[in-house]
């Protein structure tokens, strides 16, 4: 019989559940179910998977029913885990130091030298930190049938879940505030403050420029990325990737817009084995030379080699090691574990196959299996090198109430408890993360979907709040500029802006063209317009030049509808923009992310309704879909303007839009002013001018200013020179100039000056036309200048990339 968390087996309810259950019963199942729906919506919108339909869903699902533990019970867990943390530290210090345990025969050589988590470059470090290789430690626990907690896994390397535990507590407070009304619940927030404080204290003690704290992530494709984003936010530290960092003169530096900034403490968000391609795995996401820097001024938390102690087989040796290293008995034991390198252990497992589960000795990522069900790939190794395996006793988890379809249902539960070293000793976060494992298993999966629970520690009396000790963080300078933005992030914002604009411009162009192809019998000049627009679309990559060469008007209409529909070229642009916004997930507010996610779903629905079979309806559906795309782009731009701090990524997002639009407008205007036959008959340029107004969405403004009289200079002034027209070229260039000046601050102004020159060239074009005796003929000279201007804008964009983004090229390993 599995232990029951809620009832005591004699018909009574455990005290820690009484008032909680009272509140739940008072709310009733319907209310709880409705709250669960609300929570799921929040998770879908704020979660990392909420952006692209079809993308893997957020793997953290969350059960509304907390798991309460009494203060006394948790105190015992905490004391036991503190002892384990001390023990594991001592083991790590020996294994990476004098190796007395090996010399004395307390650890078989296979356990160290056969463990891929033993990182030889981390050994015999002259700078081995005095205060230990671990600063954070977590343990997964299971409660056995006898009611006692045992440790399933020691997480001595990087541990996922701390930020999720905090996030879950907050979400629970949002959707089910009733639970918190009268509870005396130990708060978990202060724990993070202590942790943050501790990281500050670990910064190297240098008079100037101690550097700052950063969290290293393998990027948005890494399964732990969402956790990294949350944790970086909790700790208010920079989230960085290997490519953002470089080691120079023994220091670790972050590439920001204002140059290289020192990093003094690097939290690693993944396996220590991938942290330095020079000395460790060459295919990791790390920083070449990082271990070299770590031997000097940089502190890596936890130490890259600390993952050694996650080997499940170590559990078999901990009781003896506790006596030997601490002179104490192990207070909180592991689930019984045997090392199969030992003949007696193999006998024991053979004698009671139902009782034991096999697992790799050195990988905590693989779930234990029944011996008969061992994967075929293990068999040769099991026979030839049984020392690579361990056996753990099957341990059915305790059962705790979870919110089911019709009410509370018991489900198996494991808990993960987090501890940090605060400089004086270890302390546990009063709470934790619960996990409902797969049926029949007692294993916390390393990846894959998890149903999480909030673990509560009840206070017997109002909490004595432990606040952070007096801070010695350096006094911050007031900053408003974008200087500390990592170059990679600025680059992503710039491209997010460009892709959004590319999407919007594409939708505008498609809408205009599709509407024209609907005319039943177009006049020759109308046909010429359609062809010009098709050229613009081809240039923009929305139509395939070869596919539309010489096709009928109906054929063209269908090609346009395909480009506008689901899976078409415009949809591709949406995905492109969303991919970048996914990489910016940590930089966008939850609200913005949610709005973008909803907008994308709406747009994709609308694109899906674009039919290409029935002409009339199809045009209508396409027009609607394009309107949806334009509304979406406007929403994102508006949100950015209203919500984002200017100094952050917003300058770059704006700049991306301006640069993209300037290039597109210059190109389109060059094409329409080259109206067919205009060279022979300059009056025909009028058709081009009309199209120019439409392309720049400026017909209404023109009419308001000049009524129905169409003349080259006034039209060109509106679309080229007027810096007040947000769809005209002048506006883009003027805005780009201002943005570049703001980004440069007191630095090199050359890019802003270049933008000012381009702005002046646009003004000059209009002046030249206005001053010409024959305006139409003068306008015919503009296409060449506009193309030159377009190319100059592209060059400006390249200059911007070189100046501010210049990412490090990928690292390659070479050798003699």
Partner 1 sequence: MIYRIRHTTRYDYQAPVDYGVHLAHLVPRPLPGQRVLSAAVEAVPALSWRHDGVDHFGNAVAWLFLDTPHATFEVTMRALVEVAFAPPPEAPLPEARATPPWETVAAAAWRGGAGAWQASEFLFDSPLAGADPAARAYAAACFPPGRPVLAALLDLMGRIRAEFTFRTGVTTTATPIAEVLRRREGVCQDFTHLMISALRSFGLPARYVSGYIRTRPPPGQTRRLGADQSHAWVDAWLGSEHGWVGLDPTNGLIVHDEHVVLGWGRDYDDIAPLRGVILGGGEQSLTVEVELDDAFPPADVAAACPAPGAA
Site residues (CB under 8 A) for partner 1? 99, 102-105, 108-110, 113-114, 120-121, 123-124, 126, 246-250, 277-279, 282, 288-289, 292, 295-296, 808-816
- HSE-CB at 56 with a 13 A cutoff on CA atoms is 10
Token pair 């130091």: residue: 97
State the nearest-atom distance from the C-beta of 656 to partner 1, in Å: 26
Determine phi and psi for 154, rounding to 5 degrees.
-100, 125
**With respect to partner 1, which residue has the nearer C-beta, 109 or 407?**
109
**With respect to partner 1, which residue has the nearer C-beta, 292 or 572?**
292
What angle (nearest 5°) sits at the alpha carbon of residue 220, between those of residues 486 and 570?
95
Report the C-alpha dihedral over residues 224, 226, 230, 233, rounded to 10 degrees: 100
User: How big is the chain, counted in residues?
Assistant: 816
**With respect to partner 1, which residue has the nearer C-beta, 424 or 812?**
812
State the nearest-atom distance from the C-beta of 241 to partner 1, in Å: 15
- CA–CA separation, 403 and 57 (whole Å): 20
State the nearest-atom distance from the C-beta of 129 to partner 1, in Å: 16
State the nearest-atom distance from the C-beta of 809 to partner 1, in Å: 5
State the nearest-atom distance from the C-beta of 318 to partner 1, in Å: 19
Which residues contact residue 771 at a Cβ distance below 8 angstroms, ignoring those fewer than 6 apart?
A: none
**With respect to partner 1, which residue has the nearer C-beta, 343 or 707?**
343
- CA–CA separation, 110 and 295 (whole Å): 27
Token code pair at residue 257? 């817009």
Distance from chain centroid for Cα 555: 43
Dihedral sign, CA of 534, 537, 538, 543? negative
State the nearest-atom distance from the C-beta of 288 to partner 1, in Å: 4
**With respect to partner 1, which residue has the nearer C-beta, 154 or 279?**
279
Token code pair at residue 508? 């505008």
State the nearest-atom distance from the C-beta of 297 to partner 1, in Å: 12
State the nearest-atom distance from the C-beta of 320 to partner 1, in Å: 14
State the nearest-atom distance from the C-beta of 279 to partner 1, in Å: 7
From residue 321, give the alpha-carbon distance in Å to each of 315, 427, 443. 10, 22, 25
**With respect to partner 1, which residue has the nearer C-beta, 271 or 529?**
271
State the nearest-atom distance from the C-beta of 721 to partner 1, in Å: 42
Least Cα distance to 739 among 493, 407, 417 occurs for 493
**With respect to partner 1, which residue has the nearer C-beta, 480 or 813?**
813
- CA–CA separation, 388 and 377 (whole Å): 13
Q: What is the DSSP string of 678-732?
A: TTT-GGGHHHHHHHHHHHTT-HHHHHHHHTT---HHHHHIIIII-TT-TTSHHHH
Encode 690-702: b = buried (16+ Cβ within 10 Å), e = exposed: bbbbbbbbbeebb
**With respect to partner 1, which residue has the nearer C-beta, 135 or 246?**
246
CB atoms inside a 10 Å sphere around CB 64: 20
Cβ contact 563:536 at 8 Å: no
**With respect to partner 1, which residue has the nearer C-beta, 10 or 813?**
813
State the nearest-atom distance from the C-beta of 802 to partner 1, in Å: 13
**With respect to partner 1, which residue has the nearer C-beta, 208 or 816?**
816
DSSP 241: E
Distance from chain centroid for Cα 81: 31
State the nearest-atom distance from the C-beta of 261 to partner 1, in Å: 16
State the nearest-atom distance from the C-beta of 341 to partner 1, in Å: 9
Classify residue 608 by burial, with Cβ atoms within 10 Å: 0-12, 13-18, 19+: middle
408-421 and 136-143 beta bridge pairing = antiparallel
Which residues contact residue 722 at a Cβ distance below 8 angstroms, ignoring those fewer than 6 apart?
A: 728, 730, 731
Cβ contact 456:69 at 8 Å: yes
**With respect to partner 1, which residue has the nearer C-beta, 289 or 401?**
289
Classify residue 798 by burial, with Cβ atoms within 10 Å: 0-12, 13-18, 19+: exposed
State the nearest-atom distance from the C-beta of 727 to partner 1, in Å: 41
State the nearest-atom distance from the C-beta of 361 to partner 1, in Å: 13
**With respect to partner 1, which residue has the nearer C-beta, 95 or 561?**
95
State the nearest-atom distance from the C-beta of 384 to partner 1, in Å: 9
Q: Where are the beta strands (DSSP E) in 269-349?
A: 299-301, 337-339
State the nearest-atom distance from the C-beta of 337 to partner 1, in Å: 20
Token code pair at residue 751? 């890019």
State the nearest-atom distance from the C-beta of 488 to partner 1, in Å: 15
**With respect to partner 1, which residue has the nearer C-beta, 15 or 296?**
296
- CA–CA separation, 785 and 569 (whole Å): 30
Least Cα distance to 576 among 649, 646, 492, 519 occurs for 492
**With respect to partner 1, which residue has the nearer C-beta, 121 or 223?**
121
Dihedral sign, CA of 630, 728, 537, 770? positive
Encode 160-199: b = buried (16+ Cβ within 10 Å), e = exposed: bbbbbbbbbbebbeebbeebeeeeebbebebbbbbbbbbb
Cβ contact 648:482 at 8 Å: yes
**With respect to partner 1, which residue has the nearer C-beta, 383 or 464?**
383
**With respect to partner 1, which residue has the nearer C-beta, 107 or 457?**
107
- CA–CA separation, 644 and 23 (whole Å): 40
């Amino acid at each position: 019989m599995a232990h029951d968390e809620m009832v005591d087996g004699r018909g009574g309810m455990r005290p820690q559940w009484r008032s909680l259950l009272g509140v739940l019963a008072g709310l009733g199942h319907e209310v709880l179910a409705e709250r669960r729906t609300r929570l799921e919506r929040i998770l879908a919108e704020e979660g990392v998977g909420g952006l692209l339909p079809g993308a893997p869903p957020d793997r953290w699902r969350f059960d509304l029913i907390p798991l309460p533990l009494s203060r006394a019970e948790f105190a015992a867990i905490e004391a036991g885990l503190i002892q384990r943390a001390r023990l594991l530290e001592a083991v790590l210090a020996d294994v990476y130091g004098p190796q007395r345990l090996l010399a004395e025969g307390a650890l078989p050589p296979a356990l160290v030298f056969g463990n891929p988590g033993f990182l030889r470059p981390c050994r015999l470090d002259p700078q081995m930190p005095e205060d230990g290789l671990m600063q954070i430690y977590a343990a997964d626990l299971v409660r056995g049938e006898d009611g006692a907690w045992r440790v399933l896994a020691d997480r001595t390397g990087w541990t996922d879940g701390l930020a999720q535990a905090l996030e879950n507590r907050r979400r629970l407070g949002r959707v089910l505030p009733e639970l918190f009304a009268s509870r005396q619940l130990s708060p978990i927030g202060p724990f993070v403050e202590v942790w943050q404080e501790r990281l500050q204290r670990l910064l190297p003690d240098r008079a100037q420029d101690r550097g700052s704290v950063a969290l290293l992530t393998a990027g948005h494709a890494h399964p732990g990325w969402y956790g990294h984003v949350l944790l970086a936010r909790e700790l208010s530290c920079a989230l960085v990737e290997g490519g953002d960092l470089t080691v120079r003169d023994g220091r670790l530096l972050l590439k920001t817009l204002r140059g290289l900034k020192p990093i003094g403490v690097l939290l690693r968000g993944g396996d220590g084995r991938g942290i330095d391609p020079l000395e460790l795995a060459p295919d990791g996401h790390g920083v070449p030379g990082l271990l070299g820097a770590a031997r000097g001024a940089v502190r890596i938390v936890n130490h890259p080699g600390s993952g050694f102690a996650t080997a499940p087989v170590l559990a078999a040796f901990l009781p003896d090691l506790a006596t030997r290293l601490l002179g104490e008995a192990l207070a909180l034991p592991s689930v019984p574990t045997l090392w199969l390198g030992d003949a007696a252990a193999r006998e024991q497992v053979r004698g009671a196959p139902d009782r034991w589960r096999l697992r790799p000795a050195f990988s905590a990522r693989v779930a234990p299996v029944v011996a008969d069900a061992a994967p075929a790939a293990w068999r040769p190794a099991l026979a030839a090198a049984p020392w690579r395996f361990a056996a753990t006793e099957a341990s059915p988890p305790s059962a705790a109430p979870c919110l089911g379809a019709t009410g509370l249902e018991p489900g198996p539960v494991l808990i993960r408890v987090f501890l940090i070293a605060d400089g004086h000793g270890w302390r546990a976060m009063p709470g934790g993360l619960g996990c409902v494992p797969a049926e029949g298993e007692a294993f916390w999966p390393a990846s894959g979907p998890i149903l999480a629970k909030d673990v509560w520690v009840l206070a017997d009396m109002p909490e004595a709040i432990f606040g952070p000790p007096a801070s010695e963080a350096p006094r911050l300078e007031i900053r408003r500029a974008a200087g500390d933005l990592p170059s990679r992030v600025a680059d992503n914002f710039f491209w997010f802006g460009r892709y959004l604009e590319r999407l919007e411009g594409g939708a505008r162009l498609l809408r205009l063209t599709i509407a024209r192809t609907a005319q039943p019998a177009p006049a020759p000049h109308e046909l010429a317009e359609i062809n010009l627009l098709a050229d613009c679309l081809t240039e923009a990559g929305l139509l395939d030049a070869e596919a539309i060469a010489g096709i009928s008007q109906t054929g063209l209409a269908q090609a346009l509808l395909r480009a506008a529909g689901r899976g078409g070229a415009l949809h591709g642009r949406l995905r492109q923009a969303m991919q970048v916004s996914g990489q910016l997930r940590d930089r966008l507010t939850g609200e913005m992310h949610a709005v973008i996610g909803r907008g994308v779903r709406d747009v994709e629905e609308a694109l899906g309704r674009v039919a290409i079979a029935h002409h009339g309806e199809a045009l209508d559906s396409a027009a609607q879909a394009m309107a949806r795309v334009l509304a979406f782009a406007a929403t994102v731009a508006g949100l950015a303007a209203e919500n984002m701090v200017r100094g952050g990524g917003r300058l770059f997002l704006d700049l991306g839009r301006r640069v993209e639009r300037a290039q597109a407008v210059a190109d389109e205007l060059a094409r329409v002013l080259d109206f067919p036959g205009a060279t022979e008959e300059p009056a025909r340029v009028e058709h081009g001018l009309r199209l120019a107004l439409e392309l720049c969405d400026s017909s209404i403004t023109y009419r308001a200013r000049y009524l129905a009289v169409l003349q080259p200079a006034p039209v060109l002034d509106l679309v080229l020179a007027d810096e007040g027209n947000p769809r005209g070229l002048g506006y883009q260039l003027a805005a780009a100039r201002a943005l570049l000046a703001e980004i440069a601050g007191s630095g090199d102004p050359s890019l802003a000056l270049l933008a000012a020159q381009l702005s002046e060239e646009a003004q000059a074009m209009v002046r030249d036309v206005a001053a010409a005796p024959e305006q139409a003929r003068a306008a015919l000279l503009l296409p060449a200048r506009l193309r030159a201007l377009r190319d100059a804008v592209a060059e400006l964009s390249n200059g911007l990339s070189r100046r501010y983004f210049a990412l490090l090229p990928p690292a390659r390993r070479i050798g003699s």
